[in-house]
């Protein structure tokens, strides 16, 4: 009895054995006890017999699976045979069974292992980054990584932007969506280079928050006073640590996560030294902090975080939740943590002497923010400006005390 011809409908019911295709020479479908595999036999260079595994077939495989059907198997086999006929070497390709395909969850886990083993820049903020990515991708973690599409990414992005309603308020914002995209991008970039996925989808997907619309929010003096005062009214150890962090950000003019990961041992004689791996700019950064900033750090051992989270040794998290509470207590709305940095730098820019001349130059403000020097100047200007930065922060602290109406140097006590 002649063997039956291969059809798409017959792949699920074929018995164990090797079933040759009648359309593409050398292509066969091997049915084993556990797996069904497409195999191509052909004469390679030098007349050597070659056998390539093209892929696997899984009955009733879900959409997005690596399962290879009859049409795809024939197309791939023809592509290999065309290369052979043209005398072009056939590149060996690792074939993964659909059931062994790396999920998005596993991909993120593997990235974390690589990053922690490698160390260097970004390790200190890794926990916050991965927590955000896993939360925003929760609906897709068990999906094969290669099947995570641009449409999936946009849904995850939009969900993060719109937020979800919690008992104490809304968790999510356009800024959070953009932060999620920024955190996910290096993960997908690494995965693409390792051939776990085809490409970094973040690179071809728009952001929705400040990545497209530049924020200009600068807090007024009244708003600064309201927020500062409200930070003392928050309840609970974590909430109070968050309040101290907000005050510290306003005085020190540094980025949120760089400050959130600060340890007491990082401050020596009032100086905060950041290594290349400790900040977004990937440059060493030295700041002599004014007393007003130092007063917000609390006390602890050198290896303890200045702004500790719920779990011992872990940084503070849940910023959106605490921010909602702070908004309610202060009555100030429509601001984000980064606006504290903009408010401080704008205020420093506006400070003048008796002759209406700027007290702090733009270059010094830029140096305090640890921004890179652009253009040709970057080749010639390598000064640290440490003394100038220290003087500028002292001037800003005195101005902030005036805004806050702090009495007798006692923090949080207003006239």
pLDDT confidence band for 227 (50 / 70 / 90): very high
303, 263 Cβ separation under 8 angstroms:
yes
For 152-167, how does the pLDDT look when each residue is reduced to its tens digit (9 = 90+)? 999 999 888 876 444 4
Distance CA 414, CA 408 (A): 10
User: pTM for this structure?
Assistant: 0.56
90, 52 Cβ separation under 8 angstroms:
yes
Which of 167-176, 232-241, 353-362 is predicted least confidently? 167-176
Burial class of 287 by CB neighbour count within 10 A (0 to 12, 13 to 18, 19+): buried
For 299-321, how does the pLDDT look when each residue is reduced to its tens digit (9 = 90+)? 999 999 999 988 888 888 888 88
Element (H, E) at 205: none
pLDDT confidence band for 99 (50 / 70 / 90): low
Distance CA 289, CA 368 (A): 11
Which of 60-69, 126-135, 296-305, 312-321 is predicted least confidently? 60-69
Query: What percent of the chain lies above the pLDDT cut of 70?
Result: 89
Q: What's residue 412's pLDDT?
A: 47
Q: What is the mean pLDDT of residues 191-218?
A: 78
Q: What's residue 166's pLDDT?
A: 45
Q: Which domains does the chain have, with CATH numbers?
A: 8-98 (no CATH), 104-204 (1.10.150), 221-414 (1.10.443)
Phi and psi, residue 296, nearest 5°: -90, -5
For 339-349, how does the pLDDT look when each residue is reduced to its tens digit (9 = 90+)? 999 999 999 99
pLDDT surpasses 70 at 140: yes
pLDDT surpasses 60 at 410: no
Which of 61-70, 139-148, 303-312, 323-332 is predicted least confidently? 61-70
Average pLDDT value for the chain: 86
pLDDT surpasses 90 at 221: yes
Q: What's residue 172's pLDDT?
A: 53
218, 342 Cβ separation under 8 angstroms:
yes
pLDDT confidence band for 415 (50 / 70 / 90): very low
99/86: higher pLDDT: 86
Q: What is the mean pLDDT of residues 228-232?
A: 97
Q: What is the mean pLDDT of residues 5-12?
A: 89
pLDDT confidence band for 267 (50 / 70 / 90): very high
């Amino acid at each position: 009895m002649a063997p039956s011809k291969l059809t798409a409908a017959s792949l699920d019911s074929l018995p164990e054995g090797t079933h040759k295709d009648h359309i593409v020479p050398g292509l066969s479908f091997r049915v084993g006890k556990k797996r069904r595999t497409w195999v191509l036999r052909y004469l390679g260079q030098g007349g050597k017999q070659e056998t390539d595994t093209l892929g696997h077939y899984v009955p009733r495989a879900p959409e997005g699976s690596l399962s290879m059907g009859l049409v795809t198997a024939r197309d791939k086999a023809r592509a290999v045979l065309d290369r052979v006929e043209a005398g072009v070497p056939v590149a060996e390709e690792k074939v993964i069974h659909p059931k062994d395909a790396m999920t998005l969850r596993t991909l993120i886990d593997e990235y974390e292992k690589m990053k922690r083993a490698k160390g260097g820049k970004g390790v200190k903020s890794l926990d916050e980054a991965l927590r955000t990515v896993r939360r925003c991708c929760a609906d897709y973690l068990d999906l094969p990584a290669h099947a995570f599409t641009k449409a999936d990414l946009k849904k995850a992005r939009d969900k993060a932007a719109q937020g979800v309603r919690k008992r104490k308020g809304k968790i999510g914002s356009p800024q959070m969506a953009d932060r999620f995209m920024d955190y996910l991008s290096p993960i997908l970039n690494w995965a693409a280079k390792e051939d776990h996925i085809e490409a970094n989808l973040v690179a071809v997907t728009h952001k929705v928050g400040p990545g497209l619309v530049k924020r200009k929010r600068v807090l007024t003096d009244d708003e600064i006073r309201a927020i500062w005062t409200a930070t003392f009214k928050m309840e609970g150890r974590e909430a109070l640590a968050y309040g101290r962090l907000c005050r510290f950000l306003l005085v020190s003019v540094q980025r949120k996560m760089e400050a959130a990961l600060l340890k007491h041992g990082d401050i020596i004689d009032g100086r905060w030294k950041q290594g290349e791996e400790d900040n977004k700019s990937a440059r060493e950064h030295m700041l002599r902090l004014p007393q007003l900033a130092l007063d917000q750090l609390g006390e602890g051992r050198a290896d303890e975080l200045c702004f500790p989270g719920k779990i011992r040794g872990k940084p503070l998290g849940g910023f959106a939740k605490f921010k909602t509470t702070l908004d309610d207590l202060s009555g100030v709305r429509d601001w984000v943590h980064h606006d504290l940095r903009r408010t401080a730098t704008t205020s420093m820019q506006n400070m003048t002497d008796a002759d209406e001349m700027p007290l702090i130059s733009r270059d010094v403000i830029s140096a305090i923010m640890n921004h890179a020097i652009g253009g040709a100047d970057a080749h010639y200007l390598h000064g640290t400006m440490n003394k100038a930065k220290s003087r500028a922060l002292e001037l800003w602290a005195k101005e902030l005390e005036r805004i806050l109406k702090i009495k007798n140097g006692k923090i949080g006590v207003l006239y």
